[in-house]
C-alpha cells in the first residue's frame, strides 16, 4: 500500500468540530465491520454478486427438484402443494434475487470505472441498496420456516388466488413484503446510477462516447424507476386487501382481479427488459474486444436500446391476450409488440456486424457471448410467435412459454452475465480464470440448457400445461420430460463447476495484468483490482474506445491524465446507517407479515401494528442520523508513481473528486 | 461533492462547487427530479385504480352526497399557498437570508399541518357520518388509499421541512430545544436538538430539493382535486 | 412590505450581486403565479355548478388544472431557470404516467351488473 491516509475532515478548519452522529464513524475498512459499513461501490458490487450467486444456486436447486419431480409420469416425489411453492419461489428468486442483483453487481462495480468516476453519486445510498437486496431475499425465504410455508401463487401472483380466502397463510405476505423491500433496493440503486452516469463522467466523456454497458445501465435504471412504482402500488393494494379488508382485487366487494394483471404487467413487461438490457450491454462490450473491431453501429445500438425501453411500456397486455381485452386493444398491443422486434433485430445485426471480418478469439467470455446471440435469438423467435394473439391463445400457459422465457432468461441473461463474470473477473480480483475450464463450463451449460429446454417447445405444443405437478403417461410426454430433466442436471453441473472454478481462481488463479484481454474501455486502464480510489489521476477522454486508442490509436486521440491536487483524492467516510436503516425497513416489513396472523408458539394472532411502527421509527431514526452524520470524508494520497505521466492539477481545482 | 468552499460567507459561492458536474446540475437535484418522475408513476397507478372503479361502478356510491367541496377547495387553497411560501423560502435561502428562509419554512409547515388537519377532519366525517370505510365499498378502498397516500406524502414533507427548520436555528438554540419548549414531546426534542445550528449556505440546495418534493405533493393534489373531487359534480362518469 | 422595500434598496445600490437581483425578481413572479393559481381554483369551484354542457365543463377542468400544474412546475419548481435536462427527466415520467392512466381507463368499461352486495361484519351504520 503505497498511499498514505490522512484522516483530516475535509472542510478546512471548520469553526467547530464536526459531530459524527451518535457514535464515531467506523474508520477501519477491512474485516466484517469494514464490509458492513462500506460505501465503496466495488465492495458493494462484490456483495451484490455473492448474494446473487447464492440465490442463483438456491433457485437452481429448486428448479432441479421441479425437474426431478417431472422426470417420470405420475411421480409423487413432492406433493402438489410443495411443487406450487417451488415454482413460485424458483421464479421469484431467479428474477428478483439472481438475475437483477447480478446485473446490479456489474452496474456497481464496472459502471463507475467505465466513466472514470471515483464512486457513485451517493455512496451511502448505494450501501442501502445492497442491504435491502440481501434482507429482501432473506425475508422472502423466511417464509419456508413459518406455518403454511412458502407462497404458492406463481411469480406473478394472480388475483384472486392471493386473496386471504384462497391463500390464508403467511407465505403470500412474505412474498408481498419481500418484493416491497427488493423494490426499494432496485429504486435507490437506479436513482443513484442515473445521477452518476449523467453527472459524474470524466472530462471529455460525452454521452455518445459512453461505453455501451454504461448506456444500458442508464436505460435499465430509467426502466426501474418507471416500472417499479406500478408493482409497489399493486403490492400495497394487495396488502390492504389481505390485512385491512379493502376490495382492490377482492371480488366479494366488487374488486376486479383483472386489475391486478394489468398493474402487474405494467411493471412486468418493462421488468423483462430490466433483465435483458444489462445483458445486451455486457455483450456489446465483449464482442468488440474479441473481434478486435469497434462496435458496429454504436449509435444505432444505443438508440435501439432506448426505443426498446420506451416501447416496453406500451405492450404489457400481450401477457393478457387470452383474457378477452376486446378486438381493438388486442390488435393494438399485438402491433406494438411486433414493433419491438425491430430494434431488437437491429441490435442482433449490429453484433453480427461487429464480428464480421474481425479477428475473432474464442475465449470463454466470447463463447458465452456468441452463445447469447444465438440462444437469445431463439427465444426472440418464439416471442414473436406469441405476439400474434391467435397463436398465443394456443401457447399461453403451456410449456411452450416456459421454453420461450428460459431461452431469453438463461440463453439470454444468464449466458451474458456469465460472459461478464469471465470477462471482468481478472479486473475485480486481479486473477485469471482458466480458459479451458471455462470452456468446459460453457459447453456443459450450452448442451444442458438446450437439452433441458428445447423439448419443452414440443411439450407445450402438444398441450402440456405450465405449472403442472405431474402428468399421465398416455399423454406421450414421457420421453421429452425425461431428457429435459437430464439436460437440467447437466446445466446444473456446469454451474457447479463454475462456482468451484471461481472460488479456486480467487485463491489460486494466475495473476492478471491490468489489461489481460487487450480491451477497449476505461476500466482496463486502472489496476486489477482497482485501488480504493479507482484512478490515481483524472482521465481526460478523447475517444469512444479510449484504452484501445491509447494502445493503437493516433496521438491526438490519446487519453490525458490530470494529477490529483495537493489535497489528494477525496473519499467518503464509511457508515453504519445504511445497514441500520435497512434493518428498520426489514423489521417493519416483517411486522406487516405478522400483523394479525397466528405465529408459531402462540398459534394466535398477537401482533397488531406494533412491530411495523417500531420498524418505521427505526428507519426514521436511521435516516435522521444518516443525514446528521453527513457524507464526511478524508483524503488519500496515491503514490506519485501512479500518475507519473499526468499533468499537474490546475491551481484552483482539487484534482479528482 | 465535497465543497472546499463550504465555510464561505457568500451564499452564492457556497453553491458553486455543487454545480461542478458533467451537466452543471447538482447531483441531489437531478436525483430528485428522477424521483419525481418515478413518483408520477406511483400516483398514476393509484389514480388509475380509483378512476377505473369509478368507471366500472359509476353508481356504487354518490360521493357528492358527502363530499364537502368547500372544505376541499379550502385545502387546495392552503396547499397552493404553502407552495408559494416554499418557493419564497428557497429564494431566501439562495440569497443567504437564513432568518427569512426559516420564517417561510415555518409558514409552509404550518399550512401543511392545516392541510393534514383538514384531511383528518374529512376522513373522520366520511367514516362517522357517511359510513365510508376501507371496506364499505370499493370506492372507500380506492378513495382512502389514494388520498391517504397523498396525506402520507404531505406528512413526510412536513417532517423533512421541520428538519431543515431546526437546522437553520441559531447554534445557541440547541440546548434550549432539548430542555425547553415543554410543549414539545421529548422524543421530538431529542431528534431535533442535534440538528440545530447546522445550516450552512451550501445547504440551500438541500432546502431547494426538499422544496421540489413539496411542490410535487402540491401538483399531485391539483390532479386529485380535479380527478377525484371536482368531476364527481359532473354526471359524466361511467362513459 | 419588507420585500418591496428591499427591492427599492437594491435598485439604488449598484454593487448588489446579480443573483440577488434575480431572486428579487422572482418574488413578483411567485406572487403573480399564486394569485393566478387561486383564481383558477376559484373558477374551478364555480364552473362545476354552472348549468352548461357537462363535457364542456369537464374539458375546462382538464385545461385549468393542467395550467395550474404547469405553472407550479415551471415557476415554483424552477424549471424555467434550470437546465432543460431537469424538465426532460420529469416529462419522461409524466408522459408515461399520463399515457398509462389513459390506456388503463380505456381498457376498462362499466360493469352492467354493478357491484355485489357487501356482506361484511361491520355494524350496519358503517355501510
Ligand atoms: C437450472 C436452470 C433452470 C431450470 C432447470 C428451470 C426450470 C424451470 C421449470 C421446469 C419451470 C416451470 C415450472 C412449472 O411451470 O411447473 C420454471 C419456471 C420459471 N423459471 Fe426456471 N429454470 C431454470 C432457471 C431459470 C432462470 C435463470 C430464470 C430467470 C432468470 C428462471 C425463471 C423462471 C420463471 C420466471 C418461471 C415461472 C415461474 C412461475 O410459473 O411462476 N428460471 N423453471
Ligand atoms: Cu411482455
| C3 compared with A606, residue with greater pLDDT | A606
- How much of chain B, in percent, has pLDDT values that exceed 90? 69
Q: Which CATH number fits domain A280-524: 3.40.50.1220, 1.20.210.10, 3.30.830.10, 3.10.110.10?
A: 1.20.210.10
- A31-38: long-range contacts (C-beta < 8 A, 24 or more apart)? A34/A574, A36/A576, A36/A579, A37/A127, A37/A574, A37/A575, A37/A576, A37/A579, A38/A127, A38/A574
pLDDT in tens, A189-215: 999 999 999 999 999 999 999 999 999
CA dist A578 and A54 (Å) reads 22
Span from the CA of A272 to the centroid of ligand 1 (angstroms):
14
- What angle (nearest 5°) sits at the alpha carbon of residue C33, between those of residues C27 and C35? 105
CATH of residue B116: 1.20.120.80
- How much of chain A, in percent, has pLDDT values that exceed 70? 95
* Residue of A11, A245, A654 with shortest CB distance to B135: A245
Q: Does C15 fall in a domain?
A: yes
Domain count, chain B: 1
Question: What ligand 1 atom has the least distance to the C-alpha of A449?
Answer: 2
Q: Is the pLDDT of residue A655 over 80?
A: no
Contact between A481 and A74 under an 8 Å Cβ cutoff? The reply is: no
Burial class of residue A161 (count of CB atoms within 10 Å of its CB; 0-12, 13-18, 19+): middle
DSSP code for B59: T
Q: What is the pLDDT of residue A30?
A: 81
**CA-based nearest residue in chain A for residue C102:** A314
Find the residues whose C-beta lies inside 6 A of ligand 1: A 60, 63, 66-67, 87-88, 90-91, 94-95, 99, 154-155, 402, 406, 409-410, 413-414, 452, 466-468, 488, 491-492
Using DSSP, state whether A565 is helix, strand or coil: coil
Domain count, chain C: 1
* Residue of C96, C104, C115 with shortest CB distance to A313: C96
Grid cell 421464479 in the structure block, residue: A91
For residues A152-180, give the mean pLDDT. Answer: 95
pLDDT in tens, A475-513: 999 999 999 999 999 999 999 999 999 999 999 999 999
Span from the CA of A283 to the centroid of ligand 1 (angstroms):
23
Residue nearest to atom 28 of ligand 1 (CA): A94
**In 3D, which of B192, B183, B169 has the Cα closest to residue A620?**
B192
Please count the residue pairs, one from chain A and one from chain C, whose beta carbons lie less than 8 angstroms apart.
37
ipTM for this model: 0.93
Sign of the dihedral through C-alpha A448, A449, A451, A456: positive
Q: Does C1 fall in a domain?
A: no
Residue C116: Cβ within 10 Å count: 13
CA C118 to chain centre: 37
Residue C121's pLDDT band, with cuts at 50, 70 and 90, is: very low
Q: Do B40 and C90 touch (CB under 8 A)?
A: yes
Pocket perturbation via mutation, ligand 1, pick of A406, A414, A492 by most ligand atoms within 8 A of CB: A406
pLDDT in tens, A403-459: 999 999 999 999 999 999 999 999 999 999 999 999 999 999 999 999 999 999 999
Cβ-Cβ contacts under 8 Å, C107 against chain A? 262, 317, 325, 329
Per the structure, the complete domain to which residue C67 belongs is given by 8-72
Per the structure, the complete domain to which residue B74 belongs is given by 26-232
pLDDT in tens, B152-187: 999 999 999 999 999 998 887 777 777 766 667 777
Query: Which residues lie below 8 Å from residue C101, measured CB to CB, with a gap of 6+?
Result: B44, B47, B48, B51
CA gyration radius for chain C? 23
Q: Do C45 and B81 touch (CB under 8 A)?
A: no
Cβ-Cβ contacts under 8 Å, A329 against chain C? 106-107
Q: Does C77 fall in a domain?
A: no
Q: What torsion do the CA atoms of A50, A52, A58, A64 make, to the nearest 10 degrees?
A: -120
**CA-based nearest residue in chain C for residue B231:** C58
Residue B16's pLDDT band, with cuts at 50, 70 and 90, is: confident
Cβ-Cβ contacts under 8 Å, C55 against chain B? 236
| A370 compared with C16, residue with greater pLDDT | A370
Q: How far is CA A229 from CA A255, B37, C99, in A?
A: 21, 10, 15
Span from the CA of A315 to the centroid of ligand 2 (angstroms):
7
Using DSSP, state whether B2 is helix, strand or coil: coil
Q: Is the pLDDT of residue A343 over 50?
A: yes
Contact between A482 and A72 under an 8 Å Cβ cutoff? The reply is: yes
Contact between B159 and A592 under an 8 Å Cβ cutoff? The reply is: no
Q: Does B239 fall in a domain?
A: no
Subunits in contact with chain C (3 or more CB pairs closer than 8 Å): A, B
Q: Is C121 on the interface with B (CB under 8 A)?
A: no
0.90 surpassed by pTM = yes
A601-620: buried (b, 16+ CB within 10 Å) or exposed (e) per residue?
eeeeeebebebbeebbebbe
Q: Does C81 fall in a domain?
A: no
Q: Is the pLDDT of residue C11 over 60?
A: no
Q: Does C37 fall in a domain?
A: yes
Q: What is the pLDDT of residue A487?
A: 98
Span from the CA of A406 to the centroid of ligand 1 (angstroms):
7
Query: Which residues lie below 8 Å from residue A31, measured CB to CB, with a gap of 6+?
Result: none
Q: Is the pLDDT of residue A1 over 50?
A: no
Grid cell 418515478 in the structure block, residue: B38
Q: Do B234 and C105 touch (CB under 8 A)?
A: no
Half-sphere exposure of B196 (CA within 13 A, CB side): 17
* Residue of B7, B21, B38 with shortest CB distance to A11: B7
pLDDT in tens, A91-127: 999 999 999 999 999 999 999 999 999 999 999 999 9
Lowest mean pLDDT among A80-84, A419-423, B194-198: B194-198
- List the grid coordinates of C27: 418574488
Residue nearest to atom 33 of ligand 1 (CA): A91
Cβ-Cβ contacts under 8 Å, B48 against chain C? 100-101, 104-105
CA dist B188 and B208 (Å) reads 24
Q: Is A263 on the interface with B (CB under 8 A)?
A: yes
pLDDT in tens, A26-61: 777 788 888 999 999 999 999 999 999 999 999 999
Q: Does B5 fall in a domain?
A: no
Contact between A427 and A530 under an 8 Å Cβ cutoff? The reply is: yes
Q: Is B20 on the interface with C (CB under 8 A)?
A: no
Nearest-CA distance from B200 to chain C in Å? 18
Lowest mean pLDDT among A181-185, A647-651, B111-115: A647-651
Amino acid at each position: 500500500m503505497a498511499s498514505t491516509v490522512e484522516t483530516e475532515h475535509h472542510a478546512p478548519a471548520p469553526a467547530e468540530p464536526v459531530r459524527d452522529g451518535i457514535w464515531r464513524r467506523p474508520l477501519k475498512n477491512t474485516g466484517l465491520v469494514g464490509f458492513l459499513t462500506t460505501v465503496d461501490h466495488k465492495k458493494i458490487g462484490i456483495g451484490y454478486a455473492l448474494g446473487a450467486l447464492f440465490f442463483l444456486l438456491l433457485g437452481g436447486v429448486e428448479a432441479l427438484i421441479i425437474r426431478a419431480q417431472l422426470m417420470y409420469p405420475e411421480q409423487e416425489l413432492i406433493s402438489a402443494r410443495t411443487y406450487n411453492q417451488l415454482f413460485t419461489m424458483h421464479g421469484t428468486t431467479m428474477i428478483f434475487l439472481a438475475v437483477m442483483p447480478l446485473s446490479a453487481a456489474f452496474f456497481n462495480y464496472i459502471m463507475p470505472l467505465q466513466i472514470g468516476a471515483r464512486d457513485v453519486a451517493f455512496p451511502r445510498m448505494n450501501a442501502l441498496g445492497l442491504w435491502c437486496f440481501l434482507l429482501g431475499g432473506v425475508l422472502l425465504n423466511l417464509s419456508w420456516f413459518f406455518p403454511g410455508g412458502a407462497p404458492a401463487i406463481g411469480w406473478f401472483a394472480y388475483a384472486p388466488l392471493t386473496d386471504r380466502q384462497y391463500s390464508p397463510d403467511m407465505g403470500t405476505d412474505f412474498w408481498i413484503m419481500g418484493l416491497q423491500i427488493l423494490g426499494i433496493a432496485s429504486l435507490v440503486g437506479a436513482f443513484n446510477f442515473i445521477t452518476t452516469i449523467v453527472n459524474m463522467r470524466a472530462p471529455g466523456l460525452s454521452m455518445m462516447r459512453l461505453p455501451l454497458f454504461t448506456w444500458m445501465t442508464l436505460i435499465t435504471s430509467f426502466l426501474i424507476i418507471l416500472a417499479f412504482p406500478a408493482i409497489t402500488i399493486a403490492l400495497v393494494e394487495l396488502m390492504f386487501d389481505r390485512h385491512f379488508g379493502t376490495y382492490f382485487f377482492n371480488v366479494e366487494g366488487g374488486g376486479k382481479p383483472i386489475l391486478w394483471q394489468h398493474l402487474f404487467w405494467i411493471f412486468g413487461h418493462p421488468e423483462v427488459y430490466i433483465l435483458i438490457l444489462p445483458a445486451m450491454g455486457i455483450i456489446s462490450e465483449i464482442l468488440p474486444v474479441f473481434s478486435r473491431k469497434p462496435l458496429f453501429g454504436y449509435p444505432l445500438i444505443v438508440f435501439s436500446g432506448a426505443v426498446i425501453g420506451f416501447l416496453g411500456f406500451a405492450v404489457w397486455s400481450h401477457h393478457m391476450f387470452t383474457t378477452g381485452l376486446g378486438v381493438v386493444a388486442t390488435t393494438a398491443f399485438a402491433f406494438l409488440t411486433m414493433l419491438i422486434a425491430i430494434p431488437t433485430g437491429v441490435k442482433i445485426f449490429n453484433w453480427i456486424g461487429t464480428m464480421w471480418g474481425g479477428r475473432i478469439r474464442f475465449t470463454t467470455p466470447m463463447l458465452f457471448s456468441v452463445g447469447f446471440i444465438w440462444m437469445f435469438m431463439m427465444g426472440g423467435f418464439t416471442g414473436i410467435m406469441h405476439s400474434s394473439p391467435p397463436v398465443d391463445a394456443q401457447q399461453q400457459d403451456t410449456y411452450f412459454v416456459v421454453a420461450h422465457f428460459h431461452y431469453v432468461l438463461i440463453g439470454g441473461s444468464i449466458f451474458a452475465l456469465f460472459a461478464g463474470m469471465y470477462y471482468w473477473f481478472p479486473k475485480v480480483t486481479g486473477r485469471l480464470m482458466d480458459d479451458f475450464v471455462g470452456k468446459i463450463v460453457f459447453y456443459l451449460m450450452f448442451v444442458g440448457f438446450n437439452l433441458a429446454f428445447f423439448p419443452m417447445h414440443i411439450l407445450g405444443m402438444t398441450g402440456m400445461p405450465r405449472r403442472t405437478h405431474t402428468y399421465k403417461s398416455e399423454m406421450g410426454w414421457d420421453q421429452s420430460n425425461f431428457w429435459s430433466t437430464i439436460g437440467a442436471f447437466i446445466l446444473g453441473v456446469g454451474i457447479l463447476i463454475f462456482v468451484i472454478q471461481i472460488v479456486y481462481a480467487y485463491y489460486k488463479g494466475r495473476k492478471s495484468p491490468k489489461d489481460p484481454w487487450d480491451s477497449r474501455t476505461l476500466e482496463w486502464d486502472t489496476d486489477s483490482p482497482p485501488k480504493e480510489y479507482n484512478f490515481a489521476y483524472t482521465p481526460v477522454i478523447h475517444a469512444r474506445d479510449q484504452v484501445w486508442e491509447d494502445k493503437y490509436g493516433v496521438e491526438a486521440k490519446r487519453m490525458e491524465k490530470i494529477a490529483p491536487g495537493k489535497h489528494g483524492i477525496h473519499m467518503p467516510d464509511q457508515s453504519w446507517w445504511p445497514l441500520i436503516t435497512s434493518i428498520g425497513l426489514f423489521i417493519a416489513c416483517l411486522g406487516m407479515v405478522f400483523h394479525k396472523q397466528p405465529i408459531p408458539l402462540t398459534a394466535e394472532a398477537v401482533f397488531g401494528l406494533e412491530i411495523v411502527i417500531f420498524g418505521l421509527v427505526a428507519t426514521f431514526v436511521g435516516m435522521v442520523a444518516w443525514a446528521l452524520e453527513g457524507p464526511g470524508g478524508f483524503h488519500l494520497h496515491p503514490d506519485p508513481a501512479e500518475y507519473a505521466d499526468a499533468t499537474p492539477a490546475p491551481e484552483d481545482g482539487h484534482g479528482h473528486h | 461533492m465535497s465543497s472546499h468552499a463550504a465555510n464561505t460567507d457568500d451564499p452564492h459561492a457556497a453553491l458553486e462547487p455543487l454545480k461542478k458536474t458533467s451537466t452543471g446540475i447538482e447531483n441531489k437535484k437531478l436525483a430528485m427530479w428522477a424521483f419525481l418522475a418515478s413518483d408520477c408513476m406511483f400516483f398514476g397507478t393509484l389514480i388509475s385504480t380509483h378512476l377505473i372503479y369509478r368507471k366500472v361502478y359509476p353508481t356504487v356510491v354518490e360521493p357528492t352526497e358527502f363530499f364537502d367541496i368547500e372544505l376541499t377547495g379550502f385545502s387546495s387553497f392552503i396547499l397552493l399557498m404553502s407552495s408559494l411560501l416554499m418557493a419564497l423560502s428557497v429564494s431566501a435561502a439562495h440569497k443567504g437570508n437564513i432568518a427569512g428562509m426559516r420564517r417561510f419554512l415555518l409558514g409552509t409547515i404550518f399550512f401543511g399541518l392545516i392541510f393534514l388537519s383538514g384531511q383528518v377532519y374529512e376522513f373522520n366525517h366520511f367514516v362517522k357520518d357517511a359510513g365510508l370505510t376501507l371496506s364499505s365499498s370499493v370506492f372507500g378502498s380506492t378513495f382512502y388509499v389514494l388520498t391517504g397516500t397523498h396525506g402520507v406524502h404531505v406528512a413526510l414533507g412536513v417532517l423533512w421541512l421541520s428538519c431543515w427548520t431546526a437546522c437553520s436555528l441559531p447554534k445557541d438554540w440547541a440546548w434550549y430545544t432539548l430542555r425547553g419548549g415543554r410543549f414539545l414531546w421529548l422524543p421530538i426534542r431529542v431528534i431535533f436538538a442535534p440538528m440545530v445550528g447546522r445550516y450552512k449556505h451550501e445547504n440551500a440546495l438541500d432546502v431547494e430539493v426538499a422544496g421540489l418534493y413539496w411542490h410535487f405533493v402540491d401538483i399531485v393534489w391539483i390532479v386529485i382535486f380535479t380527478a377525484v373531487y371536482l368531476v364527481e359534480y359532473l354526471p359524466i362518469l361511467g362513459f | 412590505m419588507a420585500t418591496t422595500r428591499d427591492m427599492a434598496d437594491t435598485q439604488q445600490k449598484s454593487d448588489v450581486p446579480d443573483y440577488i437581483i434575480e431572486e428579487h425578481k422572482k418574488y413578483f413572479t411567485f406572487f403573480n403565479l399564486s394569485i393566478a393559481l387561486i383564481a383558477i381554483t376559484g373558477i374551478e369551484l364555480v364552473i362545476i355548478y354552472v348549468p352548461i354542457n357537462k363535457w364542456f365543463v369537464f374539458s375546462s377542468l382538464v385545461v385549468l388544472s393542467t395550467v395550474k400544474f404547469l405553472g407550479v412546475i415551471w415557476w415554483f419548481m424552477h424549471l424555467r431557470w434550470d437546465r432543460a435536462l431537469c424538465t426532460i427527466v420529469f416529462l419522461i415520467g409524466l408522459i408515461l404516467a399520463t399515457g398509462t392512466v389513459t390506456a388503463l381507463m380505456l381498457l376498462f368499461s362499466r360493469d352492467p351488473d354493478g357491484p355485489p352486495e357487501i356482506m361484511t361484519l361491520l355494524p350496519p351504520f358503517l355501510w
